[in-house]
Structure 1
Amino acid sequence: MADGTVSGADRDESGRRGASDHSDGGHGDDVRSGDNRSDDSDTDNGYSDNSNSDNGDNNDSSGGDDRQDYHDRGYGDGWEELRQQTLRRDNYACTRCGADDRTLQAHHIVPRSAGGPDELENLLTLCRPCHGVIHQHNNAFDDVRDDAPLFPERTAPDPVARLRTPADQCCTRCGAERSDPTELVAWTDVPASDDGRPAPSHVTLCKPCAGLLIERDSAVEKEVLTANHTISVHELAARRTDAPVRPSAFALSQVGIRREPRTLRERVVDDTPLRFLLNHRGIRLALLVAVGYVALFVVLAL
């Protein structure tokens, strides 16, 4: 993320906006023309509706009408200048993916509906597709969300360092969720399943499961794996023994590989149906409560 300065000589703001405040593909803001109007709202009016915490932030092009729209929705007279300061601080590039050739928008880290202030420290520059990644339930971004990269840049700030969809943050084999993108890799050349179902465009894997697949499936090689960091085959191989013995019950057949158990617990629990009881935190707690209740009943009965 930028350190608050613009690289090179200081840019003239009016000149910059004249060259970049245009429709999709530029550095500026959305222009409402035809199908290319601003898409920061759940409504069809082309404007942001910040009454919902998952709505986007409005970033339409400047002008008298737009300034009035900002004001009518409570943004205040200084919003346009604040938005420009955000883009300038971030060097006119998306802080999630680094793109500088797409429509750029100012994103509230803490939504305005949740009390987030209109302050520079609460704003980040995002391209429109990456803005849709953050606002998953805002259907105004549905047409561009898939254009966002699967992984965020390694240097992306924590508030926007997310994979493209929440499902991508879960390992397809074991189901474990990883909030840290550097703990995941994506398999991008997945073959069709044996039952003829079409192959997904990609599957994400935690590093232990990725190491297991590399060892067991010849179709999984370093060349078909991608991530936002350098993939080390040696690291994946070293961590393969940390992969669960059995895949998740919902794992795709392409990644549903069993690992040989090594310990007594893995043979007795993790490789048998007992894993559904003893490996689930809620069920373990319920069993503990039940055992404690029985023990208390026995003690009181004596």
Structure 2
Amino acid sequence: MKPADDFLDPHFLKSRGKRAVTRFRAIWISDVHLGTTGCQAARLLEFLQHTESDTLYLVGDIVDGWQLKRRWYWDQIHNNVVQSVLKKAKKGTEVIFIPGNHDEAIRQFIDLDFGGIRIRDELVHVTAQGKRMLVLHGDRFDGVIACAKWLAYVGDTLYTLILKINQVFNKWRARAGLPYWSLSQYLKLKVKNAVSYISSFEHALASEARKRNVDGVICGHIHKPEIRDIEGITYCNDGDWVESLTALVEDLSGELRLVTWHEIVMPPIHAKQEELGEVCVLPS
């Protein structure tokens, strides 16, 4: 991932009032989990307002149907995120929604279009550099989902509990002037079985891309942002909007990279100019 200053290239920014808008050829976001208290909807909304793209991919688990079945939760900011996406579609952005396991009910509408949003099971995206990238959510390559869905529900319940603990813990850290820290991300990186699970998932997706004779794969599902080469296949995971707050983007030259909410919404130069009441506009 390149440093935040790289995203302030004048070819990518334009003025819209006091907001710097970063333009990409394509953006991939997934695992938003609208309908849960853990969803960082306000930050996603800011990200959507600060970016434009020819194509916006929603790579599954945008709405968390599992949690909504247990307990209804839908804040106004969640409506605002949906409206923002619909507005982009209306203004000409190609919006493609690939349902995941948490919003699997929408899979019954695959190959249909609603409100300018195309619903697809998977597809191949061709970058400006000519690379063919298979795009799918990835849950079908998760052994737990495929073989023991009941265990996935248990895991989801435990994950929700960890997020609640994390929220309380980070409120205390914020009062102490400490930065955000993710308990679940820490556990994923430290627990041997979790690391093995992630690696197996990544290699399974890369293997599928190789079978399809494409150059790489773009997915979500496991909430771990990543771009890496796996035996000649480019594996990309766009992360999530519960903890990592990341998206995968393709710039106008065709390069794929990961970006974070903070890099897009509050890059160093932009943040300083906002403090001074200036508009972040660079000469073309």
User: TM-score, with normalisation over the residues of structure 2?
Assistant: 0.23
Structure 1 or 2: more strand by fraction: 2
Of structures 1 and 2, the one scoring higher in RCO (CA 8 A, sep 6+) is 2
Give the greater-gyration-radius structure (CA): 1
